[in-house]
Amino acid sequence: MSRYRGPRLRILRRLGDLPGLTRKQSKKTTPAGEHGQQLKKPSEYALRLEEKQKLRYNYGISEKQLLKNLKAAKKVQGSTGIVLLQMLEMRLDNTLFRLGLAPTIPAARQLVNHKHILVNSRTVSICSYECKPGDAISIKNKIASHNIIKKYMEYPSLANLPNHLEFDTNTLTARVNGTVERKHVGLQMNELLVVEYYSRK
């Protein structure tokens, strides 16, 4: 399945708050769909599927990309679920979002695709680039690039900057100081259910 391009509020009503997908809030409280108001106990499969979908929609990745990241996370020592979250959080598009340089991850992805972003003084146009400790992130020295960033920064996304990032608002430069900790991941979910979802397939 490719990247979702449909109504975002519909997804929020079904999965709950996804800060990376949109800043809008739905006035409706029931899940989207004809049978949204019918309360029923979800099955174990439905619970695991829902947690997996939260990852996909929040970080804007395809099923194939998520599965690829999961396989890579299994090869790393430690909890597979936490390593998977860390890999997704350290993506360049999400890092820009967490720095407050873009209101949503799709907006951050557009900044990267249009080559407004420099990593270690080199243009990076790959959204899935995994930021590493020591990386320096800056804005291309063009008026258009700076105008877009300043416009986005008028409406900050998340209130708190994670501990693994530092940002200088005067020079619009940032540095990655480490790997994100689980408690600083901006998404409320149970990553173990995602690992279980794929282990049962």
Read off the pLDDT of residues 138-193 as tens digits, 9 standing for 90 and up: 999 999 988 998 888 877 665 578 889 999 988 889 999 999 888 888 788 889 99
Separation CA 59–CA 104 (nearest Å): 10
| pLDDT at 67 > cutoff 50 | yes
Domains within the chain, CATH numbers bracketed: 8-87+188-199 (1.10.1050.10), 91-178 (3.10.290.10)
Separation CA 102–CA 104 (nearest Å): 6
- Contact by Cβ (8 Å): 49, 190: no
Rounded mean pLDDT of 122-135?
93
Strand duo 165-168 + 136-139: pairing? unpaired
Residue of 176, 200, 190 lying closest to 79 (CA atoms): 190
Please identify which residue in the block is written with the tokens 């004809």.
34
Q: Supply the DSSP string of 47-116, one letter for each residue.
A: HHHHHHHHHHHHHT--HHHHHHHHHHHHTSSS-HHHHHHHHHHTBHHHHHHHHTSSSSHHHHHHHHHTT-
Return phi, psi of residue 156, to 5°. Answer: -60, 150
Read off the pLDDT of residues 6-26 as tens digits, 9 standing for 90 and up: 666 666 666 666 666 665 555
Query: What pLDDT shows up at residue 1?
Result: 42
What pTM did the predictor assign? 0.84
Read off the pLDDT of residues 79-102 as tens digits, 9 standing for 90 and up: 999 999 999 999 999 999 989 888
Axis-axis angle for helices 105-113, 92-99 (nearest 10): 120
Read off the pLDDT of residues 106-119 as tens digits, 9 standing for 90 and up: 889 999 999 999 99
68 alpha carbon, distance to own chain's centre: 16
Query: What pLDDT shows up at residue 170?
Result: 87
The separation between the first and the last C-alpha atoms of the chain, rounded to the nearest angstrom, is 16
Read off the pLDDT of residues 50-61 as tens digits, 9 standing for 90 and up: 899 888 888 889
Query: What pLDDT shows up at residue 120?
Result: 94
Query: What pLDDT shows up at residue 34?
Result: 54
| Residue 98 backbone class (left: φ over 0; alpha: ψ -120 to 50; beta: rest) | alpha
